[in-house]
Structure 1
Amino acid sequence: MSPLRLRPTAAAALSLAALGMLSACGRETAVGAGDRPASVAGAGDPSASLGGACGTHQAGAPSASQPPAAPPDSSRSSAQETNGVRMTGPGDRAGGCAGFQVTNHEDVTLTYTVTFGFRSASGGLRDTATRVLAGVKPGRTVSGTLGRGNTTASDWSGVDIVKVRSVPTAEAPAPGGPCPASGTRLYADDGDAAMGLRVVTLHLENCGSTPYHLAGYARISPLGLDHRVVPGVRILHGGSAVAQGTGADGPARPLTLAPGERAHAGLVWRNTVLAGTPVNAPYVRVWARQGARPVTVTPELDLGTTGKLAIGPWKRDR
């Protein structure tokens, strides 16, 4: 399978300053008439949809009376983008909402996960909030807002774009919601890290109506920010190829999951840095078995200079 043709965009930390005590803001609105809006969810709000208003100002609509705030200095401009995401200014000064836009510059429909950081008046990071925007079509822009309701901090004065991740919507993980057409859910957990050793677990559930057969190991491919395969990474079978005692070892036996049953497999790596250039690969494309539809997860691989990524065999959940 050829890699996705995705065009990387420049990454920069962006800010929106001069926001006071903030009240709750409205939800996101898709920009562009005639489009079916993308879906959006915040942390703890997986079913939220685009639409609504921020105070008296609808997100995404022009406002002559409430212009965007000027950037605090020449190095931070609200017109700049971080991987397709930019801050656009307060949605409404009375409501105290910070506006943002997500633009899909690529040629496939993408699901974005955007982490925003809330800054205090002194410049420190007070809190974070995450927004998931699913189904953003090529060439489309989705507009939204953030406000006090998105954070436990009461004294934040600005918003930074901390991290942007995007995966093809057709390959997005499905930890919940309706069962995918494949009849399986595949996703990764947040993992565990200790003394430079990383372990992230892939989870697979047969949510369909027929048995699902697995054979040994999943096939995996690490991808960079540009969604292209990262060269030079050795894919090894069994966690012991990297470290002992990770739980990602054992015989690779054929496995059949009845409807409702689950399995798991471990990704194991070290972030040791010696001579050479460290390798980072935020994404991993996963094929649960031969012929399966791929799913792209985001384990944030920091492989250091080891050049090794191990995967354990599928094991039935007990």
Structure 2
Amino acid sequence: MRRRRPTPLLPALAATALLLTACGSEHAGTGSTGADAAGEQSVVQVDDPGKDGVRITSLTLPDPSASPSLSPSPSRDYSVSADSLGSGSGSGSDSGSGSDPGVVAHYEVTNKGAESMTYSVVFTFMSADGGAMSNQTATVRDVGPGKTVRGTIRAGVLPPTTPRITQAKVLEVTKVPASEAPAAPGTCPASGIRVSADKGDAAMGLRVVGLRLDNCGTRDYTVDGYPLLELLDDARKPVTGVRILKGSAEITTGAGPDKQPRPVTLKPGESATAALVWRNTTEFGTPVNVPYVQVRAKAGATPVTVTPNLDLGTTGKLGVRPWEKGEEG
């Protein structure tokens, strides 16, 4: 493939970028659309300080003279997988129209700590003026101490009117000890119990995050009452000054009455749900944000750390609803 000169498409990165030519040699897993072999793309080397050990090293961008229907596949040279590629929000989450332009961020995750960590990273893809065009999330598991793991993530499907993407940055990083990370989709921990949190729901200041407990093992599992929680700050140290309430009546009456806790026995393949409920009202005092919540299904259970990013405002309280039997999962 012939080499191309740098294009004026990237004024915001011109000072730090070196344009090279690259041809996709492998589809990038989730979100790959199968590019026309004739499509051309450029790799922009990025001098990015990154955030919390995660940085973008380069961007793969389609040739502006190529057809917009072409979606080149990036090459990749790593063995680790990233969960939920292309599952972010924003323009890239619109799968009903548009196409995948083949924009790919190449990143690396370096664990500078002393234990293996699992990272959840939000990347934002931007136009030349800095406007966010797509947010995408990657989960990179079991990065050992002192190790560096490399990966790629696509900007995803974009509406046809989306301005051309020329930049990307690391927007948010959360990380938990690998031993406490929620299990990867389709896997079952040694405990036989899988705990996870959903993305939550917000309406007029009321926040609700669902917790899910799946019995993926081979024996019945019984919980009785409420999940046990510990709220953790950015350094994963305990947060003080927040009351954890049994039930949500003190938070709101608009989400239905609280149900009384009762024993719930899950057979293999069955699940239970609970919920965290709060308001992000901010009045006098310092707002409290809780990025991490350590969850135990019951006393003595293995802890799982989820990352719901609770914006508790100055309310000083969090309501917890009891486990209820759910649909099979």
Please name the residue that 2:88 is paired with: none
**Distance across 1 between alignment mates of 2:228 and 2:219:** 22
1:315 partner letter: E
Select the residue among 66, 80, 83 that pairs with 2:52. 83
Please name the residue that 1:61 is paired with: none
Select the residue among 295, 299, 302 that pairs with 1:293. 302
Would you say 1:279 and 2:275 are equivalent positions?
no
Other structure's SS at 1:299 match: coil
1:266 partner letter: A
Structure 2: runs of 5+ lacking an equivalent: 1-11, 33-39, 64-73, 75-102
2:190 partner letter: A
How much does 1:251 deviate?
Answer: 1.0
Identical pairs, percent: 44
User: Based on CA coordinates, which of the two structures has the bigger radius of gyration?
Assistant: 2
Q: Kindly tell me: are residues 208 and 69 of structure 1, through their superposed partners in 2, closer, same or farther at Cα, counting changes over 3 Å?
A: closer
Would you say 1:162 and 2:174 are equivalent positions?
no
Q: Kindly tell me: are residues 212 and 181 of structure 1, through their superposed partners in 2, closer, same or farther at Cα, counting changes over 3 Å?
A: same
**Distance across 1 between alignment mates of 2:202 and 2:23:** 37
**Distance across 2 between alignment mates of 1:140 and 1:156:** 31
Note if contact 2:122-2:170 (Cα within 8 Å) is conserved in structure 1: yes
Would you say 1:265 and 2:274 are equivalent positions?
yes
TM-superposition CA deviations, 1:69-103 (whole Å, max 9, x none): 45xxxxxxx2x231111222347998775432211
Note if contact 1:219-1:289 (Cα within 8 Å) is conserved in structure 2: yes
**Distance across 1 between alignment mates of 2:26 and 2:235:** 32
User: RCO greater where, 1 or 2, for CA within 8 Å and sep 6 or more?
Assistant: 1
Would you say 1:131 and 2:177 are equivalent positions?
no
Structure 1: runs of 5+ lacking an equivalent: 1-15, 29-40, 46-54, 58-65, 71-77
Please name the residue that 1:68 is paired with: 45
Q: Kindly tell me: are residues 277 and 98 of structure 1, through their superposed partners in 2, closer, same or farther at Cα, counting changes over 3 Å?
A: same
Select the residue among 117, 132, 146 that pairs with 1:110. 117
Q: Kindly tell me: are residues 99 and 85 of structure 1, through their superposed partners in 2, closer, same or farther at Cα, counting changes over 3 Å?
A: same
Other structure's SS at 1:164 match: strand
**Distance across 2 between alignment mates of 1:67 and 1:87:** 11
> In the comparison of the two structures, how many residue pairs are matched?
264
Q: Kindly tell me: are residues 138 and 248 of structure 1, through their superposed partners in 2, closer, same or farther at Cα, counting changes over 3 Å?
A: farther
**Distance across 2 between alignment mates of 1:164 and 1:221:** 20
Which stretch shifts more, 305-314 or 86-95?
86-95
How much does 1:279 deviate?
Answer: 0.4
Would you say 1:140 and 2:147 are equivalent positions?
yes
1:17 partner letter: L
**Distance across 1 between alignment mates of 2:204 and 2:274:** 21
How much does 1:170 deviate?
Answer: 1.2
With normalisation by structure 1, the TM-score equals 0.74
Please name the residue that 2:13 is paired with: 17
**Distance across 2 between alignment mates of 1:23 and 1:115:** 26
